[in-house]
Structure formats: C-alpha cells, structure tokens
Copies of this chain bind each other. A is one copy, B any other.
Amino acid sequence: VALRAPGGEGALTRAHPAEPLHFDSLDEVVAHVRAGGGRLSLPRRLILEALFVSDAPVAAEEIARRLELDPASVYRNLEKLEGLGIVRHVHLGHGPGLYSLVGRGAREYLVCERCDRVTAVAPERLDAVRGAIRDDFGFEARFGHFPIVGTCADCASA
C-alpha cells in the first residue's frame, strides 16, 4: 500500500517512552519537566496544574481562556510537554485536539457516530482488542490518539 499519513513529517509522532510515565503528584510532573531541560514559568505551572486537576481531556483554547493565557503560548507549552512525554492529545471528532497528562488515569476512547457519546475506558479494557490486532497484523495499537469509532450498543439496538 503506497500511502503516507498526511500532515507533514511525523505529524502523529510523539515521545513514546518504553516505560509508561505515571505521575501521582504535580511535583513529580514538575521534576520531569526539569529533568527534560524545561523551565517552570508561571504559565507552564498553571497549565500543568489545570491538566493535573482535570479528569477529562481539555482543548488548548479552553485552557488559555480559563487561565487567561495566550493561546499561542498554551499550544507551545503543550507541544513541548508532549515532546517530553508528559502530555498527550486525542481527537474525538472534528473539533480541536484535547489534551491531558499521561499516566494519571490514562484513558482510551470509543465514540458512537450515531449519538456522539464518548466512552472512556482504562487501557486494560482494550487489551483483548489490542491482542487481536497484534495477532493479525503484528501491530501494537493505541486508542489514545484516535478513538474507536462506530455504533454503540444502545444505538445499534435502536
């Protein structure tokens, strides 16, 4: 198959540490930023705190709005933090990317295209699915960037 993913060089590529990171406190996050050569400006601290506190992934614009920061600065921070393996983002539909801290309560997603309901599940719950993909394609799948799209049980029966 002679296709390449669009979006420029490594559009989808981010840091993928062999050891999945896990942060139990903001201090651990902060330490990891420093370890990666990053500085801890006030905006960056605020962004990290917002992500740490949020249970659902958040859009960059939303973070900027809530913290009264410049969107450009928020995007740059998220990009850098993603490079450090501290943050990731998911595309649940056609809207903006949604950002979250890695590790702490990581989730993978299913989106029903009939009712738009998003189901967030712990990655382990998709291990059987991942296994089937591994068996058939030798491919190690991750549903944290793009969700599984389809029809949920409720909509299928209706």
Identify the interface centre among A7, A113, A150: most chain B CB within 10 Å of its CB: A150
CB pair A93–B7 under 8 Å, yes or no, is: yes
Q: How far is the CA of A12 from the CA of B14 in the complex (A)?
A: 25
Q: How far is the CA of A110 from the CA of B13 in the complex (A)?
A: 14
A63 to chain B, nearest CB (A): 14
Q: How far is the CA of A13 from the CA of B152 in the complex (A)?
A: 13
Does A138 sit within 8 A of B, measured CB to CB? yes
CB pair A149–B142 under 8 Å, yes or no, is: yes
Partner of A150, one of B93, B94, B135, B141: B141
Does A53 sit within 8 A of B, measured CB to CB? no
Q: Which residue of B lies closest to A151 (CB)?
A: B140
Considering only residues 69-118 of chain A, those with a C-beta below 8 Å from chain B are 91-96, 98, 110-114, 116-118
Question: Which residues in A have some Cβ–Cβ distance to B below 8 Å?
Answer: 1-14, 16, 56, 59, 91-96, 98, 110-114, 116-121, 125-126, 128-129, 131-133, 135-143, 145-153, 156
For the complex of A and B, list the 4 residue pairs with the smallest distance between their C-beta atoms, beginning with the closest. Answer: A6-B95, A138-B153, A7-B94, A5-B93
